[in-house]
Each structure stands twice: as C-alpha cells, then as structure tokens.
Structure 1
C-alpha cells in the first residue's frame, strides 16, 4: 500500500488525480471535487502526473490533453502501458473538438472526454459512471482471486448472447476436459442451465447446481452472482459469475481417511457405503472378497463409535459435506 493510500481514512472519498498546467482550471475542479467528498491530488505537468499516479494509484485521472512538454496523449499511453496503473480510467479534458483529436484521446487509453471550458457538474457525472464501472471490475477481480486461492475455478457468461466473457486458467482446462469447448464458446449444457435458473438467481434463491462427470471425477458448477448490471436490468442481461469445483473419488476418500483415522482401504469401503453400495458390490469394485469388506466395515464401526452401516454412512456424509460443500450424492 502506498503512503497516499495509507493517509486516506476509511470514510474518505475516492482518490482523483487532476492534471492540468493551468492553475485556474485546477482550482475550479479541486474545489468542486473536494465539496463532493473526493480526495484530490493535482499535477501541473505530464512528468509530475506519471510520478503521482505511480505513487498514489488514484481511482480516476482527469487529464488535460494539451500541455507543454509531455502532453496528455503521451501520459495516457504510459499510464496504460504500466501494469500498476493500466486499470485506472482516464477522462480527457480538451478544447479540441475535431473528430481526429477526440479519437486520438480514446486511442491513447482515455475512457471518456469533456470539452473546455470545464463544467464541474458534467465532469462529476462522467466520473461517477466510470468510477462505478471501475468498482465493479475491482470487485469481480477480488472475487475471482479469492476463489482461485481456494482451488475454485470461475467463469463469467453473458446471459443474453451466451458468450463466455472471462475465465481463470483452471477454468479453461476444466471446460476443455469436461465439455471440449473454449472461450468465447460457452458449453451448451452450461448455457441452458444458466438460462433455466436465472429467475431463481434474480430472486436471490440459490439454484440447483450443475454436475458433469469425467471418469471418477466430478465437476460442480454453481451460479454465484451477476456482475456489472444495474438494478433495472432484466434477467436476460449482464455477465453471470459461475464457480466451478472439481472433486474426485480419491479426494473424498482421502479426506474421510484423515477425518476418521481410517486406513486407505477402510476409507474406500466407507465411501462406497455412503454411496449406497452393499457389501457384494463393494467387493466387486475393490476386487476383494465379501468377507474382507465385512471385516473392514466392522473396524470402521469401531473407529466411528457406531453399530450400524446406516449410522456410519450418516456420520461420514455429514463430514464429507463439511469438508466438501459442493459434493452431492
């Protein structure tokens, strides 16, 4: 965290960097933004703007297009080229109204522009639009990072046109393995499931999960939330975040063995008991005799402190769902 960010109290406004070589312009905007609750930094040259932006990481930049030395177009290009500042929205302030100049501002990385003489109310309105978009992008990124950190893959899908808009590297691998598709194509079963349950999601009722099988592995998909759509938007709009988690028989068996201090074979037997298999079926699956499965089950009962396979299965199922919330029978 930078020094400027540390100095911003928890109730302070978002940080705005104003770049203009004309003091009167700076004063006008500074006062208007300050009164509106923003924390304001100023720079009077392109070089100072780059230094301030790198140090403070403002939430938005108001940038004069024409300045002596390093002009606004070059400042914008450099901000967008630097990973630390590339995400910051830039609003150009320019007296140039010719189409080629406005296009140049956008090509340089500008998100928007306002024309001089500056009207503070117009600037504030434009800022609010881009700051709202930036906040939503940051929230989405934080959500994805948190999910990835715990081994969950995520994708975003546009419900209206069905395109896969974003995916983590793990999600890319999982979609190719389970469905044989890659962005921007959303797997047909996933898209159909999404559209079928949008009404529930809109009503903040968690829809049923979608599952896909691949050998002994199982992919769970959960409809998490909608990103970047206003309250007035309809169901068939916005990008929806879908969280995926892959589980395998081996992972469940290993976690049961650790939880109940079972041997690997005892954990396997208990897993198939939870799945509703009888001793003969378990023997066939494990390549063992029915008598051997029975002996393992007796030891399992002793370790779990229960007397019946039904009680053992119920205890194991409860623990599995605690350790692997996305797992279902």
Structure 2
C-alpha cells in the first residue's frame, strides 16, 4: 500500500488547486510506481492527480484538464493505449500531451503508443529525473501553443471590437481554417444567407464544408484570382505588395476585404488572412462601445466628440439636452480614465489608428 503522505483523489473529488504549478495526471495500476513518481513530482513543484484505472483516468482528465498525462501502457481492463485514444478523441482533452510509461521495448509496442496519441515514452524501471526532463520539453511546447492560441483569440476579438472581421484561408486548396462570428454576420448582411450546400471555395476533390464556412461568389472569384490560381503563390512571392483589396458597396455601407500573408509554407502559398471591415456610422459607434465598454448612447456621444461636435450639437443630433449629453460624457470620461473631451477623442482615434496601421499598413 502507498504511504499515508500520498494523496488519493476519489472519483468525485474537485480539481486540486494548482496555483501556478503544472498539473500532472499520473496513471498506473502499480502503487509502488505511483508512490515513487508522486513524491518526485511533488518535490519538484508539480501538482499531481492520480488514477489507477483507465476509466478513472478518463474521468479525472475530463474534470481537471491536466497539463500533461503520464500513462502506464499495460493496465488490467482498459489499457493505456485505449485511454490515450479516448483522450485524443475528445475535443476537451485532445490537446493534452501524453507520455507513455512502458516496460515493453519491442518496436511494435512503441509504435502503438505513438499511434494511440502519445507524444513520447519512457521505459520501466522508471527514472524520475528522466521523466521530468521529458515532461519539461513537452510542457514548454504545450505552454507556447496555448499562448499562441490565446494571442490569436485576443487578436480576433480586437478585430471584431473595432468592426473588423477575419477569416483564414489555406492558399493551397482554399480550405477555411477559421472565421470569426462577425465575419459570418457581415457576409450574410451583404450577400444574404448562405446556401445549405457546399462551401463555394471547396475544390472538386474536397468534401463539402459546413454552411457557416460559406464564402460568396464575388469573394471566391477575388481569392481565386489572387491566391488560389495555379501560379498565384509564385507570382505573390515576387510581388512587392499584397493583392489589391476588394470593396463592395451596399447603400451607405461598404465592405472592404484585404488579404494578408501569414506564416506558412511559401511553396504551398501559405495561409492568408482575410480582414474585412464595414464602414458605416452605426458600425463605428458599435465598435467604440465594444472597445471601451460603453452603453449605446455613451458610444454615440463619444463618436460625435471624435467628429468635433460640441455638446449642443450632439444634443441636437441625438434629440437630447446638452445637460444630458454632459452626463453621458462624464461617464465616458470615467470609463476611459480621462478628464477632457480632447483626451477622450485622442484615445478613441489612437485605438482605431493602431488597428489601421496593423492591418492596412
């Protein structure tokens, strides 16, 4: 049996408090292995969660979402290979790196471990220092991947907040990698609802894409002419500027699309970011509200301040008294952390200018 100093978490236990340490799920049906590794990991500052059976490992992984899994390959009942396959099949746990611990050194078993979703393996008898060295490599890569994903989400949220929307297209085959909700909304507003059939960007050899990945025919033609054509990647590699933008007008609203090359395989054309922006008073006001957490009326007041209007003029435009406009403006100042209308206008203009420089420069 394991020593009393070794914590055992029942199946219904809440996720242990990890603080700033990495959470390790340690899965092994042998108490001695668990005790030795638990003590070494704990002394090194890791937070450790334990499981002695495959079913318990799956449950605890789903509950706690550990940073890494140390998984015994051979266990009675559900073995480690099946545990790994199920973890990788679940969207919630598929990203978690798995290191197999195995006493089997035959090539076919090591290949099976990697094929099941393992990122690495260590052989028994377990050497804690070796295990932690392997863990350090994969935890560092996992942290970087999470940081990159977080930064990408923040960038997309910032784009959406200022009325921009974005789609990423893989140039080699036109596959849409992701698109923001605002991108779908803008396409629908300017081109109507998508047909329920295939993605117009899908090539003949590809399976139909979901309806939400629909791109209208004018945008499709623009992409094919500048990115998806057979020699587009070669031509673009020699070009000094990015492809010309596409501008589509609808009444007082205008949708502008620009292409920006992202990191990728230049031989295959890389990935392309489509940045869309709709210009209209209403959209700009909405963007200011989102960016600075303003109410709809506060955002309207800030918009007209940026346009150089005084309180009396703003009141006439909005159908409110100058005193009411002044109250709204005072709340705007408080939310922006400024004291004057000049400072408020400068802050709003600066935020918009930063995005313009990043995506239009």
Give TM class, smaller chain: 0.5 to 0.7
Q: Deviations over 1:53-111 (max 9, x none)?
A: 12221111000000111110111122222232222111111111222212221222212
Task: Name structure 2 gaps, 5 residues minimum.
Answer: 1-12, 184-212, 265-269, 289-298, 316-341
Partner residue, 1:16: 24
Q: 5+ residue gaps in structure 1? A: 198-207, 228-238, 263-269, 275-298, 306-313
2:257 is matched with: 219
Relative to 1, partners in 2 of residues 1:252 and 1:22: Cα closer, same or farther, differing over 3 Å?
A: closer
TM-score when normalising by structure 2: 0.54
Query: Which aligned pairs between 1:191-270 and structure 2 lie closer than 5 A?
Result: 212-215=246-249, 216-219=254-257, 244-249=275-280, 251=282, 258-259=300-301
| TM-score normalised per structure 1 | 0.58
Deviation at 1:327, TM superposition (A): 4.6
2:313 counterpart of 1:303: yes
Q: Which of 24, 28, 34 matches 2:42?
A: 34
In structure 2, which of residues 68, 77, 102 is the aligned counterpart of residue 60 of structure 1? 68
Q: Is the 8 A contact 1:18 1:63 kept in 2?
A: yes
Do 2:99 and 2:121's aligned partners in 1 also have CA atoms closer than 8 Å?
Answer: yes
Output one character per residue of 1:289-316: Cα deviation in whole Å (capped at 9) or x when no partner.
xxxxxxxxxx99x8379xxxxxxxx99x
Q: Does the CA contact (< 8 Å) of 1:221 and 1:243 recur in 2?
A: yes
Q: Is the CA contact (8 Å cut-off) linking 1:260 and 1:304 kept in structure 2?
A: no
> What RMSD in Å do the two structures reach over aligned CA positions?
5.1
Q: How does 1:84-95 map to 2 (within 5 A)?
A: 84-95=92-103
SS of the aligned residue for 1:93 comes to: strand
The equivalences for 1:17-166 within 5 A come to: 17-149=25-157, 151=160, 152-154=164-166, 166=177
Aligned length: 258
Alignment deviations for residues 172-223 of structure 1 (CA, whole Å, 9 cap, x no partner): 66798646448xx68969x959x979xxxxxxxxxx9x96534432235679
